[in-house]
Chain A
């Protein structure tokens, strides 16, 4: 005898219509958070604290063969080189510091190999500072010496400049360029210049020098010199170091004097700066 339940089981519809029961309610192991859910940009600034985007370098990946830069090596480098080397070292130390911190959590003490690598970088860094301080002291000393013997040095140069023969013209002009940059801070490139009292003093000194060398036999020379007006000095300063060019500029200065054009002593810096700015715009 077949029961009604058994009869129902024989129908094909019984399988289709069977109610799908949801999985029973049971507890499952806890779900731990994971960093896989994050997407980080390749240019994220914090990547700078990772070497090659690695969480931790192996001992083989560490630079064990290298040595710190020596002071004589660093002395040969320019300021820009030292500057970039400093930041390269700083980034490397940041990476190492993070890795040491990570390792410390595991082994309860700072890792010796990573510490040694960090110390090597640190050594380079104090040497960079040492070299820079050497340069700063040297500059300071030079400035002090220069302050004491500025007149003497300028007199020496004046003598050299005026006594040089015509054949030495090119050398003399190069020396003048070096002097104007070193003593008065006047650069050949206009936009590098900052007009201050040294700049004004420089153009006055150089214009007088040029006049004495190239135009001392001009009829109006004794009337004209010494040049004390900054505007006049600038006109002569700009002139080419030849007799013709300087004579033209002398004519221009005389015309200025006739027309009563002059720069007030108290407005020199502003007026010359404005003139340079105008030149730059053109």
Chain B
């Protein structure tokens, strides 16, 4: 299902929640964004456009991808915008603003980006920074479920009015499929609640007018 870009309407019609999913690669630390709780070659092709020896195009092996974060948005449009922003920022880091991105990366004493074999922790840290930027740009109220709250970094990086943080239960992480299903249902309930509140507010304002 996640083999092409999905619009807000499509997501709502097909029973998905307004969510964005971040998966991290255990071997390399690279991060993959997805609109759906699954990912295919489509995401890899769009998000790793110029692979090189340091930033190899990752494989689809399911065992080396782990859930890193799930973002619940307040609207479907918001979630789509958030996803678009994330992908755009990824291409900026890899293509258009590569020199800026390279300057941000901390170096070891030999002048190389810190690594251990194929693993570079900087990719995850960049993805977290991009997530913060994307949420601010999309101006969508969101709740981030972290696999490990350690990753969210200093709270000063996050817009307190837009973002709330939660951590995922450690035991639930061992069954990701059931966990994602549960998060989806919760997000849908939350979305419907917000929708009814909005409708009621609109009706009240119409009555007063």
Which residues of A pack against B, CB within 8 Å? 22-38
How far is the CB of A46 from the nearest CB of chain B, in Å?
A: 16
Tell me which of A22, A25, A30, A36 contacts B122 (CB under 8 A).
A30
Is the beta-carbon distance between A31 and B128 smaller than 8 angstroms? yes
Is the beta-carbon distance between B133 and A28 smaller than 8 angstroms? yes
Is the beta-carbon distance between A33 and B151 smaller than 8 angstroms? yes
The total of chain B residues at the interface (CB under 8 A) is 31
Q: Which residue of A lies closest to B90 (CB)?
A: A27
In the docked arrangement, what's the CA distance between A37 and B153, Å? 7
Chain B residues, CB < 8 A from A33: 125, 148, 150-153
How far is the CB of B85 from the nearest CB of chain A, in Å?
A: 6
How far is the CB of B147 from the nearest CB of chain A, in Å?
A: 12
Chain A residues, CB < 8 A from B134: 25
Is the beta-carbon distance between A30 and B137 smaller than 8 angstroms? no
Is the beta-carbon distance between B85 and A25 smaller than 8 angstroms? yes
Closest 4 CB pairs of A and B: A30-B125, A31-B153, A31-B128, A33-B150
Is the beta-carbon distance between B129 and A28 smaller than 8 angstroms? yes
In the docked arrangement, what's the CA distance between A5 and B152, Å? 45
Is the beta-carbon distance between B125 and A22 smaller than 8 angstroms? no
In the docked arrangement, what's the CA distance between A28 and B151, Å? 16
29 examples of A-B residue contacts, CB within 8 angstroms: A22-B136, A22-B137, A22-B138, A22-B139, A23-B133, A23-B136, A23-B137, A24-B137, A25-B88, A25-B92, A25-B133, A25-B134, A26-B92, A26-B97, A26-B133, A27-B126, A30-B122, A30-B128, A30-B129, A31-B125, A31-B132, A31-B157, A32-B153, A33-B125, A34-B150, A36-B154, A37-B152, A37-B153, A38-B149
Of residues 122 through 179 on chain B, the ones whose CB sits less than 8 Å from some CB of chain A are 122, 125-126, 128-130, 132-134, 136-139, 148-154, 157
Tell me which of A24, A28, A37 contacts B149 (CB under 8 A).
A37
Asked whether any CB of chain A lies closer than 8 Å to the CB of B104, the reply is yes
How far is the CB of A28 from the nearest CB of chain B, in Å?
A: 5
Chain A residues, CB < 8 A from B149: 37-38
- Taking A23-B133, A34-B154 as given, write out 20 further A-B residue pairs in contact, using a Cβ cutoff of 8 Å, ordered by the A residue number: A22-B137, A23-B136, A24-B137, A25-B133, A26-B92, A27-B89, A27-B92, A27-B97, A27-B101, A27-B130, A28-B104, A28-B133, A29-B129, A30-B122, A30-B125, A31-B132, A31-B153, A37-B152, A37-B153, A38-B149
Chain B residues, CB < 8 A from A25: 85, 88-89, 92, 133-134, 137
Which residues of B pack against A, CB within 8 Å? 85, 88-89, 92-93, 97, 100-101, 104-105, 122, 125-126, 128-130, 132-134, 136-139, 148-154, 157
Is the beta-carbon distance between B93 and A31 smaller than 8 angstroms? no
Chain A residues, CB < 8 A from B93: 27
How far is the CB of B101 from the nearest CB of chain A, in Å?
A: 6
Is the beta-carbon distance between B150 and A38 smaller than 8 angstroms? yes
How far is the CB of A105 from the nearest CB of chain B, in Å?
A: 13
Chain B residues, CB < 8 A from A32: 125, 153
> Which residue, A23, A29, A38, has most C-beta atoms of chain B within 10 A?
A29
How far is the CB of A29 from the nearest CB of chain B, in Å?
A: 5
Q: Which residue of A lies closest to B152 (CB)?
A: A37
In the docked arrangement, what's the CA distance between A31 and B122, Å? 9
Is the beta-carbon distance between A27 and B139 smaller than 8 angstroms? no
How far is the CB of A40 from the nearest CB of chain B, in Å?
A: 12
Chain B residues, CB < 8 A from A31: 125, 128-129, 132, 152-154, 157
How far is the CB of B135 from the nearest CB of chain A, in Å?
A: 10
Chain A residues, CB < 8 A from B128: 30-31
Chain A residues, CB < 8 A from B126: 27, 30
How far is the CB of A232 from the nearest CB of chain B, in Å?
A: 64
In the docked arrangement, what's the CA distance between A5 and B100, Å? 38
In the docked arrangement, what's the CA distance between A22 and B125, Å? 23
